[in-house]
Amino acid sequence: MKQFLMTLSPVCVGMIVIGGVLVAIGWMKTVAFLRNTPRLCDAGDMERYKDLARFGMWAALALIPLLFIPFLVLVFVPASPIYRLLGLVGPTLVGVVGVKLKEKETMAQATEAHSSELTAERDRVTDSWMKKAFPDF
């Protein structure tokens, strides 16, 4: 049993790394959207906005187990000190970067729309992005 528990440590570190990669991809997608789409002018811009929102929603759902499970396992299951440290520091770092990413996402959600139809659609997508677990657009 102890050997099995010890093999969980590298798996948990891998989960933290995957979580970090998801946050990094989200950061790059959001920065690219902000740079390439200063305004929502047409259906293509709106589709890019929806793609960004979908990725953010699915990534947020994936991050819950990817960060919470390793934290619990590496802190409460017998592991070497380095793995315990990674179990505390890894999710914390990913969380801090995630908070900065949230600031960028808020900027994307405030992107000006060219028409009242695009404004209404942006607001509907943003409402779903902020209040629902799964995309419905």
Q: What is the pLDDT of residues 89-135, one digit of tens each?
A: 888 899 899 999 999 999 999 999 999 999 999 999 999 999 999 99
**pLDDT tops 80 at residue 3:** no
The residue among 13 and 133 whose pLDDT is bigger is 133
User: For the chain, what is the mean pLDDT?
Assistant: 91
The string of pLDDT tens digits covering residues 92-103 is: 899 899 999 999
How far apart CA 82 and CA 78 sit, in angstroms, is 12
User: How many C-beta atoms lie closer than 10 Å to residue 44's C-beta?
Assistant: 10
- Which pLDDT tens digit goes with each residue over 25-60? 999 999 999 999 999 999 999 999 999 999 999 999
Q: Can you give the pLDDT at residue 1?
A: 56
Q: Which phi-psi region, left, alpha or beta, contains residue 123 (left: φ > 0; alpha: ψ -120 to 50)? A: alpha
pLDDT, residue 27, reads 97
Q: pLDDT for 60-90, tens place per residue?
A: 999 999 988 888 887 777 777 887 788 788 8
Half-sphere exposure of 67 (CA within 13 A, CB side): 21
Between CA 137 and CA 117 the distance in angstroms is 15
pTM for the full predicted model: 0.87
CA distance to 19, 118, 128, per residue, from 112 (Å): 31, 9, 18
CA–CA distance, 108 with 31 (Å, rounded to integer): 9
